[in-house]
Amino acid sequence: MGGILQATIYPIMVMGGLAVVFALMLGIASRVFYVYVDPKVKAVEELLPGANCGGCGFAGCSDCAAAIVAGKAPVTACVACGTDIHEQIAQILGKTVEVKEKEVAHIMCQGTKDKAKRRFQYMGIEDCRAAVVVAGGDKECQYGCLGLGTCVRSCPFGALSMGENGIPVVDRDKCTGCGTCVRVCPRGIPKLLPVSQKIVTVCNSHDAPPVVKKLCEVGCLGCGICKKVCPEKAIELENFLSVVDPSKCTLCGKCIEKCPTGAIRQILPG
């Protein structure tokens, strides 16, 4: 009888004793090492998309939420979520939203396999960043898209896909404008454009006109014809590359007619 009592009582006593000691220890520790966490941070974090794309400039969504609540970042810091989410975040914090137009990425190169010349056949690692290290990439144009799909693989929202001709295509519905592709591209070819911008010079080359003419059939020469014909003065030349200012552009289409290479294009229906 004593044996059975021992066999049942001792383990219960020991485990119970240990549990009580540990519970007390943790209880005291949680008081001593108590860290206040603002409940707003949790609420904001739940509203954010949770893709940890880094488009806001913080390490992840939870970091971004903490910064928004602390006032170090604006309520619109998250570029990946829509204005309705921004409004909800502002509501939690009792702030108002300043409306900013949504941006989407656009691949600023049209130098497809048949239109842009190649210097050699690249057979290395399938990654643009690696290809750039090998003698500056296989494309003659040092500003052009290498088409190995680093941006396609890095897009956290699956908005990019590789086109048949070796230039990535942006799905404008899926693109959130987080800018991950802009950051990973070794040549900075994707650019964030306001979602309403319709006319754009789809080229990234800052080479002088004769160089571009030799290397690519569809590159912006930097000739300045578009600048001359534009009645609204919406086009500027920046180092042999024409840039359209969407706030001035009226979609008259004169630049598209006159462009000798077709680099300037209407990317959205009027």
| Minimal distance, residue 118 CB to other proteins, in Å | 22
- Asked if 35 touches other proteins (CB under 8 A), the answer is yes
Strand ranges (E), the chain: 103-107, 160-162, 168-170, 190-194, 199-201, 235-237, 242-244, 264-266
- Asked if 20 touches other proteins (CB under 8 A), the answer is no
- Binds other proteins by CB under 8 A, chosen from 2, 4, 5, 34: 34
Amino acid at 115: K
- Alpha carbon distance 230, 226 (integer Å): 6
Token digits of residue 43 = 């609420």
- Binds other proteins by CB under 8 A, chosen from 15, 195, 251, 268: 15
129-148 positions binding other proteins, by CB under 8 A: 130
Burial of 65 (0-12, 13-18, 19+ CB in 10 A): buried
Looking at the Cβ atoms of 146 and 226, the one nearer to other proteins is 146
Binding piece for other proteins, criterion CB under 8 A, among 14-22, 157-165, 193-201, 209-217: 14-22
User: How far are the Cα atoms of 101, 200, 213 from residue 192, in angstroms, in the given order?
Assistant: 11, 12, 26
Looking at the Cβ atoms of 1 and 231, the one nearer to other proteins is 1
Token digits of residue 170 = 């942006």
- Show the binding pattern over residues 86-125: x = contacts other proteins (CB under 8 A), - = does not: ---------------------------------------x
Residues 6 or more apart in contact with residue 22 via CB below 8 angstroms? none
**Which pairing describes strands 160-162 and 168-170: parallel, antiparallel, or unpaired?**
antiparallel
Binding piece for other proteins, criterion CB under 8 A, among 16-24, 76-84, 142-150, 202-210: 16-24
- Binds other proteins by CB under 8 A, chosen from 16, 20, 25, 101: 25
Question: Footprint of other proteins on this chain (CB under 8 A)?
Answer: 6, 10-11, 13-15, 18-19, 22, 25-26, 29-30, 32-35, 59, 125, 130
